[in-house]
Structure 1
Protein backbone atom coordinates (compact mmCIF):
# COMPACT_ATOMS: atom_id res chain seq x y z
CA UNK A 1 0.00 0.00 0.00
CA UNK A 2 1.32 3.49 -0.86
CA UNK A 3 1.32 6.37 1.64
CA UNK A 4 1.56 10.09 0.99
CA UNK A 5 4.44 12.01 2.63
CA UNK A 6 2.00 13.81 4.91
CA UNK A 7 0.41 10.59 6.14
CA UNK A 8 3.88 9.02 6.67
CA UNK A 9 5.11 12.03 8.61
CA UNK A 10 2.00 11.84 10.79
CA UNK A 11 3.14 8.53 12.25
CA UNK A 12 5.10 8.98 15.57
CA UNK A 13 8.12 6.86 14.60
CA UNK A 14 8.36 8.57 11.25
CA UNK A 15 8.19 11.99 12.84
CA UNK A 16 11.12 11.12 15.13
CA UNK A 17 13.20 9.86 12.20
CA UNK A 18 12.45 12.97 10.18
CA UNK A 19 13.29 15.25 13.12
CA UNK A 20 16.66 13.55 13.65
CA UNK A 21 17.56 13.81 9.97
CA UNK A 22 16.64 17.48 9.78
CA UNK A 23 18.54 18.23 13.03
CA UNK A 24 21.77 16.67 11.83
CA UNK A 25 21.85 18.26 8.39
CA UNK A 26 23.11 21.71 9.55
CA UNK A 27 25.81 20.06 11.66
CA UNK A 28 26.99 17.92 8.77
CA UNK A 29 27.03 20.97 6.53
CA UNK A 30 29.02 22.94 9.13
CA UNK A 31 31.62 20.17 9.51
CA UNK A 32 32.01 19.98 5.76
CA UNK A 33 32.46 23.76 5.50
CA UNK A 34 35.10 23.89 8.27
CA UNK A 35 37.17 21.17 6.62
CA UNK A 36 37.09 22.98 3.32
CA UNK A 37 38.19 26.36 4.73
CA UNK A 38 42.02 26.78 5.00
CA UNK A 39 43.50 28.24 8.18
CA UNK A 40 44.70 31.76 7.41
CA UNK A 41 47.87 32.90 9.23
CA UNK A 42 48.24 36.71 9.36
CA UNK A 43 51.35 38.13 7.72
CA UNK A 44 53.93 39.22 10.35
CA UNK A 45 54.03 42.95 11.03
CA UNK A 46 57.38 42.48 12.80
CA UNK A 47 60.05 40.43 11.03
CA UNK A 48 63.62 39.29 11.63
CA UNK A 49 66.37 39.93 9.09
CA UNK A 50 70.07 39.12 9.32
CA UNK A 51 73.46 40.00 7.90
CA UNK A 52 76.85 38.38 8.33
CA UNK A 53 78.20 41.37 10.27
CA UNK A 54 75.22 42.20 12.51
CA UNK A 55 73.50 38.85 12.95
CA UNK A 56 69.72 38.89 13.44
CA UNK A 57 67.73 42.10 13.94
CA UNK A 58 64.13 43.36 13.89
CA UNK A 59 62.45 45.03 10.92
CA UNK A 60 58.96 46.24 10.16
CA UNK A 61 56.67 44.33 7.77
CA UNK A 62 58.33 46.02 4.76
CA UNK A 63 61.82 45.03 5.88
CA UNK A 64 62.88 48.45 7.23
CA UNK A 65 65.45 48.15 10.02
CA UNK A 66 64.46 49.04 13.61
CA UNK A 67 66.89 50.49 16.16
CA UNK A 68 67.28 51.02 19.90
CA UNK A 69 68.76 54.10 21.60
CA UNK A 70 71.18 53.41 24.47
CA UNK A 71 69.98 56.57 26.25
CA UNK A 72 66.51 55.01 26.61
CA UNK A 73 67.95 52.85 29.38
CA UNK A 74 65.07 53.57 31.76
CA UNK A 75 62.48 52.54 29.16
CA UNK A 76 61.40 56.06 28.17
CA UNK A 77 61.89 57.78 24.81
CA UNK A 78 64.45 60.56 25.37
CA UNK A 79 65.06 61.21 21.66
CA UNK A 80 63.38 64.61 21.22
CA UNK A 81 63.85 67.78 19.18
CA UNK A 82 66.34 67.37 16.34
CA UNK A 83 66.99 63.79 17.40
CA UNK A 84 63.36 62.87 16.67
CA UNK A 85 63.69 64.12 13.08
CA UNK A 86 66.66 61.83 12.41
CA UNK A 87 65.18 58.90 14.33
CA UNK A 88 61.41 58.70 13.66
CA UNK A 89 59.48 56.56 16.10
CA UNK A 90 58.12 53.18 15.04
CA UNK A 91 54.54 52.25 15.88
CA UNK A 92 52.52 49.20 14.86
CA UNK A 93 49.00 48.81 16.24
CA UNK A 94 48.51 45.24 15.05
CA UNK A 95 51.49 43.21 16.22
CA UNK A 96 51.79 39.92 14.35
CA UNK A 97 54.98 37.90 14.73
CA UNK A 98 56.45 34.72 13.36
CA UNK A 99 59.34 32.41 14.12
CA UNK A 100 60.69 32.63 17.68
CA UNK A 101 59.39 36.15 18.37
CA UNK A 102 56.78 36.59 21.12
CA UNK A 103 54.00 39.14 20.64
CA UNK A 104 53.95 39.67 24.42
CA UNK A 105 57.45 41.23 24.20
CA UNK A 106 55.95 44.17 22.27
CA UNK A 107 54.11 46.95 24.09
CA UNK A 108 52.92 50.48 23.34
CA UNK A 109 53.92 53.64 25.18
CA UNK A 110 53.07 57.29 24.59
CA UNK A 111 55.94 59.68 23.88
CA UNK A 112 56.26 63.02 25.68
CA UNK A 113 54.34 64.72 22.86
CA UNK A 114 51.50 62.18 22.99
CA UNK A 115 52.36 59.85 20.10
CA UNK A 116 52.16 56.05 20.41
CA UNK A 117 55.43 54.14 20.04
CA UNK A 118 56.11 50.41 19.98
CA UNK A 119 58.57 49.01 22.52
CA UNK A 120 60.41 45.69 22.40
CA UNK A 121 61.35 44.20 25.76
CA UNK A 122 61.06 47.69 27.20
CA UNK A 123 63.14 49.47 24.53
CA UNK A 124 61.42 52.11 22.32
CA UNK A 125 61.89 51.33 18.62
CA UNK A 126 62.98 53.77 15.89
CA UNK A 127 63.71 54.13 12.19
CA UNK A 128 66.76 55.98 10.83
CA UNK A 129 66.27 59.03 8.58
CA UNK A 130 69.58 60.84 7.97
CA UNK A 131 69.83 64.19 6.21
CA UNK A 132 69.95 63.94 2.42
CA UNK A 133 70.18 67.28 0.57
CA UNK A 134 68.75 69.06 3.57
CA UNK A 135 65.86 66.61 4.05
CA UNK A 136 65.49 63.76 6.55
CA UNK A 137 65.04 60.68 4.39
CA UNK A 138 64.39 57.28 5.89
CA UNK A 139 66.91 54.67 4.82
CA UNK A 140 65.80 52.17 2.21
CA UNK A 141 64.48 48.71 2.92
CA UNK A 142 67.28 46.38 3.95
CA UNK A 143 69.75 49.12 4.89
CA UNK A 144 71.41 49.18 8.33
CA UNK A 145 73.42 52.40 8.09
CA UNK A 146 72.07 53.61 11.45
CA UNK A 147 73.87 50.92 13.40
CA UNK A 148 76.65 52.31 15.58
CA UNK A 149 75.82 55.99 14.93
CA UNK A 150 77.31 58.02 17.78
CA UNK A 151 78.02 54.78 19.65
CA UNK A 152 74.47 55.05 20.98
CA UNK A 153 72.27 53.59 18.19
CA UNK A 154 72.12 49.88 17.36
CA UNK A 155 69.97 47.37 15.54
CA UNK A 156 67.68 45.32 17.79
CA UNK A 157 68.87 41.73 18.01
CA UNK A 158 66.10 39.71 19.71
CA UNK A 159 68.74 37.54 21.42
CA UNK A 160 71.24 40.07 22.76
CA UNK A 161 73.32 38.57 25.59
CA UNK A 162 74.88 41.86 26.71
CA UNK A 163 73.84 45.36 25.63
CA UNK A 164 75.13 48.92 25.93
CA UNK A 165 73.33 51.61 27.94
CA UNK A 166 73.99 55.34 28.34
CA UNK A 167 72.90 57.67 31.14
CA UNK A 168 74.11 60.11 33.76
CA UNK A 169 75.80 58.10 36.51
CA UNK A 170 76.74 59.28 40.01
CA UNK A 171 80.12 58.31 41.43
CA UNK A 172 79.23 57.43 45.03
CA UNK A 173 82.76 58.16 46.26
CA UNK A 174 82.82 61.75 44.95
CA UNK A 175 79.10 62.48 44.50
CA UNK A 176 79.95 63.75 41.01
CA UNK A 177 77.84 62.71 38.03
CA UNK A 178 78.59 62.30 34.36
CA UNK A 179 77.31 60.53 31.25
CA UNK A 180 78.67 57.04 30.76
CA UNK A 181 78.30 54.19 28.32
CA UNK A 182 78.18 50.95 30.30
CA UNK A 183 77.27 47.29 29.95
CA UNK A 184 73.89 45.86 30.91
CA UNK A 185 72.38 42.40 30.64
CA UNK A 186 69.53 41.51 28.26
CA UNK A 187 66.98 42.79 30.81
CA UNK A 188 68.65 46.19 31.17
CA UNK A 189 70.31 45.49 34.53
CA UNK A 190 73.63 47.23 35.19
CA UNK A 191 76.90 45.29 35.21
CA UNK A 192 79.91 46.26 37.32
CA UNK A 193 83.63 45.60 37.63
CA UNK A 194 85.71 45.39 40.84
CA UNK A 195 88.97 47.38 41.03
CA UNK A 196 90.44 44.66 43.24
CA UNK A 197 90.29 42.34 40.21
CA UNK A 198 92.62 44.77 38.41
CA UNK A 199 95.03 44.83 41.31
CA UNK A 200 95.03 41.04 41.73
CA UNK A 201 94.42 39.52 38.29
CA UNK A 202 95.93 36.16 39.27
CA UNK A 203 93.28 35.54 41.95
CA UNK A 204 90.14 36.62 40.10
CA UNK A 205 88.05 33.66 41.23
CA UNK A 206 88.63 34.43 44.92
CA UNK A 207 88.63 38.25 44.96
CA UNK A 208 84.89 38.38 45.73
CA UNK A 209 83.49 35.40 47.60
CA UNK A 210 81.27 34.74 50.60
CA UNK A 211 79.33 37.84 51.69
CA UNK A 212 80.91 39.82 48.84
CA UNK A 213 79.37 37.46 46.28
CA UNK A 214 76.00 37.82 48.00
CA UNK A 215 76.07 41.61 47.71
CA UNK A 216 77.76 41.56 44.29
CA UNK A 217 76.44 38.42 42.52
CA UNK A 218 78.52 37.20 39.56
CA UNK A 219 77.03 37.59 36.09
CA UNK A 220 77.17 34.80 33.54
CA UNK A 221 75.68 34.12 30.14
CA UNK A 222 76.79 31.61 27.56
CA UNK A 223 75.55 33.73 24.66
CA UNK A 224 77.65 36.04 22.51
CA UNK A 225 74.98 38.01 20.65
CA UNK A 226 76.26 41.56 21.02
CA UNK A 227 75.76 45.10 19.66
CA UNK A 228 78.35 46.02 17.04
CA UNK A 229 80.23 48.16 19.59
CA UNK A 230 81.24 44.99 21.44
CA UNK A 231 83.49 42.15 20.30
CA UNK A 232 82.84 38.56 21.26
CA UNK A 233 86.59 38.03 21.63
CA UNK A 234 86.63 40.53 24.53
CA UNK A 235 84.42 38.23 26.61
CA UNK A 236 85.63 35.18 28.47
CA UNK A 237 84.72 32.95 31.39
CA UNK A 238 86.35 32.19 34.73
CA UNK A 239 85.49 29.32 37.04
CA UNK A 240 84.80 30.43 40.58
CA UNK A 241 85.85 28.42 43.61
CA UNK A 242 82.58 29.19 45.41
CA UNK A 243 79.04 29.28 44.12
CA UNK A 244 76.13 31.58 44.75
CA UNK A 245 72.44 31.42 44.01
CA UNK A 246 69.68 33.99 43.97
CA UNK A 247 67.48 36.21 41.83
CA UNK A 248 70.29 37.34 39.54
CA UNK A 249 71.02 33.75 38.64
CA UNK A 250 67.31 32.95 38.19
CA UNK A 251 67.58 30.76 41.28
CA UNK A 252 70.27 28.55 39.72
CA UNK A 253 73.64 27.79 41.31
CA UNK A 254 76.53 28.67 39.03
CA UNK A 255 80.30 28.35 39.23
CA UNK A 256 81.06 30.41 36.14
CA UNK A 257 81.39 34.16 35.63
CA UNK A 258 81.61 36.23 32.47
CA UNK A 259 84.58 38.53 32.02
CA UNK A 260 84.97 41.58 29.78
CA UNK A 261 88.54 42.35 28.70
CA UNK A 262 89.68 40.14 31.55
CA UNK A 263 87.50 41.81 34.21
CA UNK A 264 84.77 39.72 35.89
CA UNK A 265 81.27 41.19 35.64
CA UNK A 266 78.93 41.57 38.62
CA UNK A 267 75.45 42.77 39.56
CA UNK A 268 74.71 44.90 42.64
CA UNK A 269 71.82 43.73 44.82
CA UNK A 270 70.79 47.27 45.77
CA UNK A 271 69.81 47.85 42.13
CA UNK A 272 66.86 45.56 42.92
CA UNK A 273 67.02 43.86 39.52
CA UNK A 274 65.59 47.07 38.04
CA UNK A 275 66.57 48.16 34.54
CA UNK A 276 68.48 51.42 34.48
CA UNK A 277 69.30 51.41 38.21
CA UNK A 278 72.95 52.34 38.93
CA UNK A 279 73.41 52.46 42.70
CA UNK A 280 76.80 50.77 42.88
CA UNK A 281 79.10 53.00 40.81
CA UNK A 282 81.97 54.37 42.92
CA UNK A 283 81.05 52.45 46.06
CA UNK A 284 83.94 51.22 48.17
CA UNK A 285 83.22 47.85 49.76
CA UNK A 286 84.93 44.51 50.24
CA UNK A 287 88.25 46.33 50.29
CA UNK A 288 88.05 48.25 46.99
CA UNK A 289 85.98 50.33 44.57
CA UNK A 290 83.18 49.15 42.25
CA UNK A 291 82.53 50.77 38.86
CA UNK A 292 80.05 50.35 36.04
CA UNK A 293 81.54 48.15 33.32
CA UNK A 294 82.46 50.55 30.52
CA UNK A 295 83.09 49.34 26.96
Structure 2
Protein backbone atom coordinates (compact mmCIF):
# COMPACT_ATOMS: atom_id res chain seq x y z
CA UNK A 1 0.00 0.00 0.00
CA UNK A 2 2.42 2.64 -1.24
CA UNK A 3 1.66 6.22 -2.25
CA UNK A 4 -0.76 6.53 0.69
CA UNK A 5 -0.16 8.74 3.70
CA UNK A 6 -2.28 10.61 6.21
CA UNK A 7 -2.95 14.07 4.74
CA UNK A 8 -1.58 17.03 6.63
CA UNK A 9 -4.24 19.20 5.05
CA UNK A 10 -7.62 18.57 3.48
CA UNK A 11 -9.84 20.98 1.57
CA UNK A 12 -7.24 23.67 2.17
CA UNK A 13 -7.38 23.24 5.95
CA UNK A 14 -4.83 21.71 8.33
CA UNK A 15 -5.93 18.32 9.68
CA UNK A 16 -6.49 18.23 13.44
CA UNK A 17 -7.10 14.93 15.24
CA UNK A 18 -9.65 15.23 18.03
CA UNK A 19 -8.49 13.73 21.36
CA UNK A 20 -10.83 11.12 22.71
CA UNK A 21 -13.15 11.74 25.66
CA UNK A 22 -11.30 11.96 28.96
CA UNK A 23 -8.05 12.89 27.23
CA UNK A 24 -6.86 16.42 27.94
CA UNK A 25 -5.69 18.15 24.74
CA UNK A 26 -2.18 19.59 24.78
CA UNK A 27 -3.55 22.91 23.55
CA UNK A 28 -7.03 24.41 23.39
CA UNK A 29 -9.17 23.04 20.58
CA UNK A 30 -9.04 25.10 17.39
CA UNK A 31 -12.00 27.08 16.13
CA UNK A 32 -14.49 24.69 14.54
CA UNK A 33 -14.18 26.00 10.98
CA UNK A 34 -10.42 26.52 10.97
CA UNK A 35 -9.34 22.87 10.59
CA UNK A 36 -10.32 19.58 9.00
CA UNK A 37 -11.37 17.46 11.97
CA UNK A 38 -9.99 13.92 12.01
CA UNK A 39 -11.75 11.26 14.07
CA UNK A 40 -9.98 8.01 14.86
CA UNK A 41 -10.92 5.43 17.47
CA UNK A 42 -8.55 2.65 16.36
CA UNK A 43 -5.56 2.09 18.62
CA UNK A 44 -7.12 4.12 21.43
CA UNK A 45 -7.70 1.30 23.89
CA UNK A 46 -11.36 0.48 24.43
CA UNK A 47 -12.61 3.63 22.71
CA UNK A 48 -15.35 2.78 20.21
CA UNK A 49 -16.23 5.10 17.36
CA UNK A 50 -19.77 5.75 18.64
CA UNK A 51 -18.63 7.40 21.89
CA UNK A 52 -15.90 9.30 20.00
CA UNK A 53 -18.51 10.62 17.59
CA UNK A 54 -20.78 11.68 20.44
CA UNK A 55 -17.84 13.40 22.11
CA UNK A 56 -17.17 15.25 18.84
CA UNK A 57 -20.71 16.56 18.35
CA UNK A 58 -20.93 17.52 22.04
CA UNK A 59 -17.54 19.29 22.13
CA UNK A 60 -17.19 21.01 18.74
CA UNK A 61 -19.61 23.48 17.16
CA UNK A 62 -20.62 21.20 14.29
CA UNK A 63 -22.60 23.97 12.57
CA UNK A 64 -19.25 25.56 11.66
CA UNK A 65 -17.29 22.42 10.74
CA UNK A 66 -16.16 22.67 7.10
CA UNK A 67 -14.13 19.48 6.62
CA UNK A 68 -14.22 16.07 8.25
CA UNK A 69 -11.76 13.15 8.00
CA UNK A 70 -12.74 9.69 9.24
CA UNK A 71 -9.73 7.60 10.27
CA UNK A 72 -9.64 4.09 11.72
CA UNK A 73 -13.03 3.34 13.27
CA UNK A 74 -12.53 -0.12 14.79
CA UNK A 75 -11.27 -1.24 18.19
CA UNK A 76 -9.37 -4.53 18.51
CA UNK A 77 -10.69 -6.22 15.36
CA UNK A 78 -11.49 -4.73 11.96
CA UNK A 79 -15.16 -3.83 11.72
CA UNK A 80 -17.51 -2.78 8.89
CA UNK A 81 -17.81 0.93 8.08
CA UNK A 82 -21.62 0.79 7.91
CA UNK A 83 -22.25 1.93 11.52
CA UNK A 84 -20.02 4.96 10.93
CA UNK A 85 -21.91 5.77 7.76
CA UNK A 86 -25.16 5.50 9.71
CA UNK A 87 -23.92 8.06 12.25
CA UNK A 88 -22.93 10.48 9.48
CA UNK A 89 -26.35 10.19 7.86
CA UNK A 90 -28.20 10.43 11.17
CA UNK A 91 -26.47 13.67 12.18
CA UNK A 92 -26.07 15.26 8.75
CA UNK A 93 -28.35 18.17 9.66
CA UNK A 94 -25.92 19.14 12.40
CA UNK A 95 -23.28 19.97 9.75
CA UNK A 96 -24.78 22.71 7.53
CA UNK A 97 -21.31 24.10 6.70
CA UNK A 98 -19.64 20.80 5.82
CA UNK A 99 -18.01 21.03 2.40
CA UNK A 100 -15.44 18.21 2.44
CA UNK A 101 -15.50 14.61 3.65
CA UNK A 102 -12.76 11.98 3.63
CA UNK A 103 -13.91 8.43 4.33
CA UNK A 104 -11.35 5.88 5.55
CA UNK A 105 -8.13 7.83 5.97
CA UNK A 106 -6.19 4.66 6.81
CA UNK A 107 -2.62 3.70 5.89
CA UNK A 108 -1.07 0.25 5.52
CA UNK A 109 0.48 0.23 9.00
CA UNK A 110 -3.07 0.41 10.37
CA UNK A 111 -4.95 -1.73 7.85
CA UNK A 112 -4.26 -2.84 4.29
CA UNK A 113 -6.47 -1.14 1.74
CA UNK A 114 -8.10 -4.41 0.67
CA UNK A 115 -8.95 -5.30 4.28
CA UNK A 116 -11.09 -2.21 4.91
CA UNK A 117 -14.65 -3.40 5.39
CA UNK A 118 -16.49 -0.64 3.58
CA UNK A 119 -20.16 -0.30 2.60
CA UNK A 120 -22.54 1.46 0.23
CA UNK A 121 -21.69 5.15 0.69
CA UNK A 122 -24.61 6.44 -1.40
CA UNK A 123 -26.69 7.51 1.65
CA UNK A 124 -23.73 9.55 2.93
CA UNK A 125 -23.36 11.39 -0.39
CA UNK A 126 -27.07 12.09 -0.54
CA UNK A 127 -27.23 13.28 3.09
CA UNK A 128 -24.72 16.11 2.57
CA UNK A 129 -26.19 18.13 -0.28
CA UNK A 130 -23.69 20.99 0.08
CA UNK A 131 -20.62 18.73 -0.07
CA UNK A 132 -18.00 19.98 -2.54
CA UNK A 133 -15.21 17.44 -2.02
CA UNK A 134 -15.42 13.71 -1.33
CA UNK A 135 -12.47 11.33 -0.97
CA UNK A 136 -12.90 7.60 -0.31
CA UNK A 137 -10.42 4.79 0.35
CA UNK A 138 -11.31 1.13 0.01
CA UNK A 139 -11.42 -1.82 -2.37
CA UNK A 140 -14.09 -4.06 -3.79
CA UNK A 141 -13.32 -7.16 -1.76
CA UNK A 142 -16.18 -8.05 0.55
CA UNK A 143 -15.68 -7.82 4.29
CA UNK A 144 -16.33 -10.56 6.80
CA UNK A 145 -20.04 -9.75 6.80
CA UNK A 146 -20.30 -9.57 3.02
CA UNK A 147 -20.02 -5.78 2.97
CA UNK A 148 -17.95 -4.02 0.32
CA UNK A 149 -17.42 -0.57 -1.08
CA UNK A 150 -20.35 0.46 -3.26
CA UNK A 151 -22.03 3.49 -4.82
CA UNK A 152 -25.29 3.98 -6.68
CA UNK A 153 -25.94 6.70 -9.28
CA UNK A 154 -26.59 9.99 -7.51
CA UNK A 155 -27.71 13.52 -8.30
CA UNK A 156 -25.62 16.10 -6.47
CA UNK A 157 -25.50 19.74 -7.50
CA UNK A 158 -22.57 20.92 -5.34
CA UNK A 159 -19.89 18.21 -5.65
CA UNK A 160 -16.76 19.59 -7.35
CA UNK A 161 -14.13 16.99 -6.49
CA UNK A 162 -14.52 13.21 -6.27
CA UNK A 163 -11.66 10.82 -5.54
CA UNK A 164 -11.62 7.06 -4.99
CA UNK A 165 -8.32 5.62 -3.77
CA UNK A 166 -8.48 1.87 -4.29
CA UNK A 167 -6.39 -1.20 -4.94
CA UNK A 168 -9.41 -2.69 -6.68
CA UNK A 169 -12.27 -0.36 -7.63
CA UNK A 170 -15.40 -2.31 -8.62
CA UNK A 171 -16.74 -1.62 -12.10
CA UNK A 172 -20.15 -1.00 -10.55
CA UNK A 173 -18.81 2.13 -8.85
CA UNK A 174 -17.27 3.39 -12.10
CA UNK A 175 -20.54 2.83 -13.94
CA UNK A 176 -22.47 4.52 -11.14
CA UNK A 177 -20.24 7.58 -11.39
CA UNK A 178 -20.77 7.68 -15.15
CA UNK A 179 -24.53 7.50 -14.61
CA UNK A 180 -24.57 10.21 -11.92
CA UNK A 181 -25.74 13.78 -12.39
CA UNK A 182 -22.87 15.93 -11.11
CA UNK A 183 -23.06 19.26 -12.97
CA UNK A 184 -20.45 21.01 -10.80
CA UNK A 185 -17.82 18.24 -10.91
CA UNK A 186 -14.41 19.68 -11.83
CA UNK A 187 -12.03 16.96 -10.60
CA UNK A 188 -12.44 13.20 -10.87
CA UNK A 189 -9.69 10.82 -9.75
CA UNK A 190 -10.10 7.04 -9.79
CA UNK A 191 -7.50 4.52 -8.62
CA UNK A 192 -8.77 1.48 -10.50
CA UNK A 193 -6.47 -1.18 -9.05
CA UNK A 194 -6.26 -4.85 -9.96
CA UNK A 195 -8.71 -7.70 -10.42
CA UNK A 196 -7.24 -9.66 -7.50
CA UNK A 197 -8.70 -7.07 -5.14
CA UNK A 198 -11.98 -6.40 -6.93
CA UNK A 199 -10.83 -4.01 -9.67
CA UNK A 200 -12.77 -5.32 -12.65
CA UNK A 201 -13.26 -2.04 -14.54
CA UNK A 202 -12.97 -2.24 -18.33
CA UNK A 203 -12.40 0.50 -20.89
CA UNK A 204 -16.07 0.14 -21.85
CA UNK A 205 -17.05 1.06 -18.30
CA UNK A 206 -15.09 4.31 -18.69
CA UNK A 207 -16.88 5.37 -21.88
CA UNK A 208 -19.32 7.84 -20.23
CA UNK A 209 -16.41 9.54 -18.44
CA UNK A 210 -14.40 9.84 -21.66
CA UNK A 211 -17.29 11.05 -23.81
CA UNK A 212 -17.06 14.66 -22.66
CA UNK A 213 -20.83 14.84 -22.31
CA UNK A 214 -21.29 13.48 -18.79
CA UNK A 215 -19.56 16.15 -16.68
CA UNK A 216 -19.55 19.54 -18.46
CA UNK A 217 -17.45 21.26 -15.77
CA UNK A 218 -14.70 18.60 -15.63
CA UNK A 219 -11.17 20.03 -15.80
CA UNK A 220 -9.06 17.25 -14.24
CA UNK A 221 -9.33 13.53 -14.92
CA UNK A 222 -7.25 10.86 -13.23
CA UNK A 223 -7.60 7.25 -14.40
CA UNK A 224 -4.78 5.76 -12.37
CA UNK A 225 -3.26 2.75 -10.66
CA UNK A 226 -4.60 0.33 -13.29
CA UNK A 227 -3.31 -2.97 -14.63
CA UNK A 228 -4.91 -2.06 -18.00
CA UNK A 229 -3.19 1.33 -18.19
CA UNK A 230 -2.10 0.81 -21.83
CA UNK A 231 -5.71 0.19 -22.87
CA UNK A 232 -6.85 3.24 -20.95
CA UNK A 233 -4.15 5.38 -22.57
CA UNK A 234 -5.31 4.23 -26.00
CA UNK A 235 -8.90 5.19 -25.16
CA UNK A 236 -7.84 8.54 -23.73
CA UNK A 237 -5.82 9.32 -26.86
CA UNK A 238 -9.04 9.78 -28.83
CA UNK A 239 -11.45 10.67 -26.01
CA UNK A 240 -13.52 13.85 -26.55
CA UNK A 241 -13.22 14.84 -22.88
CA UNK A 242 -9.48 15.49 -23.21
CA UNK A 243 -9.97 18.67 -25.24
CA UNK A 244 -11.61 20.42 -22.29
CA UNK A 245 -9.24 19.15 -19.59
CA UNK A 246 -6.57 21.25 -17.96
CA UNK A 247 -4.80 18.30 -16.34
CA UNK A 248 -4.67 14.55 -16.86
CA UNK A 249 -3.20 11.69 -14.83
CA UNK A 250 -2.52 8.17 -16.08
CA UNK A 251 -0.06 7.56 -13.26
CA UNK A 252 0.61 4.73 -10.81
CA UNK A 253 -0.28 1.92 -13.22
CA UNK A 254 1.31 -0.38 -15.77
CA UNK A 255 1.70 2.16 -18.59
CA UNK A 256 4.23 0.90 -21.14
CA UNK A 257 5.38 1.61 -24.68
CA UNK A 258 2.07 0.54 -26.20
CA UNK A 259 0.18 3.16 -24.20
CA UNK A 260 2.87 5.76 -24.84
CA UNK A 261 2.67 5.19 -28.60
CA UNK A 262 -1.10 5.68 -28.41
CA UNK A 263 -0.68 8.99 -26.62
CA UNK A 264 1.95 10.15 -29.11
CA UNK A 265 -0.23 9.31 -32.11
CA UNK A 266 -3.47 10.58 -30.59
CA UNK A 267 -4.98 14.01 -30.18
CA UNK A 268 -2.79 16.94 -29.06
CA UNK A 269 -2.04 17.18 -25.35
CA UNK A 270 -0.11 20.44 -25.40
CA UNK A 271 -3.08 22.40 -24.05
CA UNK A 272 -2.73 20.58 -20.73
CA UNK A 273 -1.06 22.40 -17.86
CA UNK A 274 -0.21 19.08 -16.19
CA UNK A 275 0.28 15.49 -17.36
CA UNK A 276 1.12 12.92 -14.68
CA UNK A 277 2.58 9.59 -15.84
CA UNK A 278 4.69 8.67 -12.80
CA UNK A 279 5.17 4.99 -11.96
CA UNK A 280 5.35 3.60 -15.48
CA UNK A 281 7.06 0.90 -17.57
CA UNK A 282 7.94 2.94 -20.65
CA UNK A 283 11.33 2.54 -22.30
CA UNK A 284 13.76 5.46 -22.39
CA UNK A 285 13.14 6.22 -26.11
CA UNK A 286 9.38 6.58 -25.48
CA UNK A 287 9.94 8.71 -22.40
CA UNK A 288 12.22 10.97 -24.44
CA UNK A 289 9.70 11.22 -27.29
CA UNK A 290 6.92 12.19 -24.91
CA UNK A 291 9.14 14.76 -23.26
CA UNK A 292 10.17 16.25 -26.60
CA UNK A 293 6.59 16.38 -27.85
CA UNK A 294 5.15 18.10 -24.80
CA UNK A 295 8.12 20.24 -23.88
CA UNK A 296 8.90 21.62 -20.41
CA UNK A 297 7.64 25.10 -21.33
CA UNK A 298 4.24 23.93 -22.52
CA UNK A 299 3.14 21.40 -19.94
CA UNK A 300 4.15 20.26 -16.47
CA UNK A 301 4.91 16.61 -17.14
CA UNK A 302 5.73 14.08 -14.43
CA UNK A 303 7.53 11.15 -16.10
CA UNK A 304 9.83 9.66 -13.52
CA UNK A 305 12.21 6.77 -14.16
CA UNK A 306 10.64 3.53 -15.29
CA UNK A 307 9.92 0.90 -12.67
CA UNK A 308 12.74 -1.62 -12.30
CA UNK A 309 11.69 -4.84 -14.00
CA UNK A 310 12.97 -7.36 -16.53
CA UNK A 311 10.34 -8.31 -19.12
CA UNK A 312 12.29 -11.43 -20.04
CA UNK A 313 12.59 -12.75 -16.47
CA UNK A 314 9.39 -11.37 -15.02
CA UNK A 315 6.87 -9.98 -17.47
CA UNK A 316 4.42 -8.95 -14.77
CA UNK A 317 3.96 -5.25 -14.14
CA UNK A 318 2.74 -3.93 -10.84
CA UNK A 319 0.51 -1.01 -9.98
CA UNK A 320 1.60 1.38 -7.23
CA UNK A 321 -1.23 0.44 -4.83
CA UNK A 322 -2.96 -2.93 -4.69
CA UNK A 323 -3.28 -4.73 -1.36
Same fold (TM over 0.5): no
Larger RCO of the pair (alpha carbons < 8 Å, separation 6+)? 1
TM-score (norm 1): 0.26
- More strand by percentage: 1
Greater Rg over alpha carbons, structure: 1
